[in-house]
Amino acid sequence: MPRFSTDREVLETAIRWLTQGRRLALVTVARTWGSSPRPVGALMVMDDDGACSGSVSGGCVEEDLLMRYREHQLGDSFPTFIDYGIEREEATRLGLPCGGRLELLVEQLDSAAPLERLLERIRAGELVTRRVCLATGEVSLHAAEPADDFDYSADYLAKVFGPRWQLLLIGDGHLSRYVAQLALMLDYRVIICDPRDDYDPDETMAGVERVHLMPDEAVEVYATHPRSAVVALTHDPRLDDMALGVALDSAAFYVGALGSRRNSALRRERLGSLGLTTQQLQRLHAPVGLPIGSRSPPEIAVSILAELTALRHQAGSDRASRA
């Protein structure tokens, strides 16, 4: 049974298998209709021995696809498209929801080098668009912007890799590290800002950027687009409020602050006295996170990322409805 994997895991697996000399194909969900278990852009890599990493449906589609690739039933010309679920009988056999339909792009992978270049740029924190020319199969890499989305036309398929969503944490404490760990798993670029002179982190976290800017300066640098989020976690009103005052007037889709209901009410009063409008203050998620009864730092981190996830998907739906 295939398992859900991050894009990076799929790429790392593909590179490892290619260096072992395996015959591989990369599969991308190009289009969906009706109910679909996996979104467009979902990836899976498979070899001709029946192994795979990633998922395009989470069910029998993978089994059928692996069988067809193993038995060379996909033809010799790549890239190629496969449509699943066109007929009701096929959708039922494959376990697709009622009305569900998938169109998949299958590419033959011949060398690890192009994927290694892509993975190197992702690890460097870059946003990269991988574009596949559908006529020739030629693959090219291009710098991407946070607002760029998956794109599929008659000529090419383009998928964005890297941390399109960005999380700025104010304060480098115990809770911040739990939040950062979860955010990295969800493909956020994570920046922790702590300007305190007496603060000396006793450990490093791979993939997390640390900056020594003042909180308001950090917000101005790192919360510049609608895929940004700012969460204040220092427990020091002087630092938290400094960040929030700028963040609530920024393009960030989420602004949150740690604190009790009483302290959150006092914070809103302070920010209001500084000139923030009622509309701006309504953007503030305080107490931060979903009310799931969390008490320990790991539980609070889960509540924060749960709320971020809900609003992140809502933001994506709003953009799609406006398209």
pLDDT per residue as tens digits for the range 84-121:
875 555 555 555 555 568 899 999 999 999 999 999 99
Cα–Cα distance, 129 to 136 (Å, whole number):
18
On whether the CB atoms of residues 167 and 183 are closer than 8 A, the answer is yes
CB count within 10 Å of CB 282 equals 9
Which domains, from first to last, does the chain contain?
A: 7-161 (no CATH), 165-318 (3.40.50.720)
- The predicted model scores a pTM of 0.71
In this prediction, the residues of the chain whose per-residue pLDDT falls under 50 are 1-2, 317-323
Per-residue model confidence (pLDDT) at position 36: 67
The per-residue pLDDT for 136 is 93
What pLDDT does 207 receive?
83
**What is the sign of the dihedral through the CA atoms of 119, 124, 128 and 133?**
negative
CB 227 within 8 Å of CB 168:
no
Distance from C-alpha of 101 to C-alpha of 31, rounded to nearest angstrom: 8
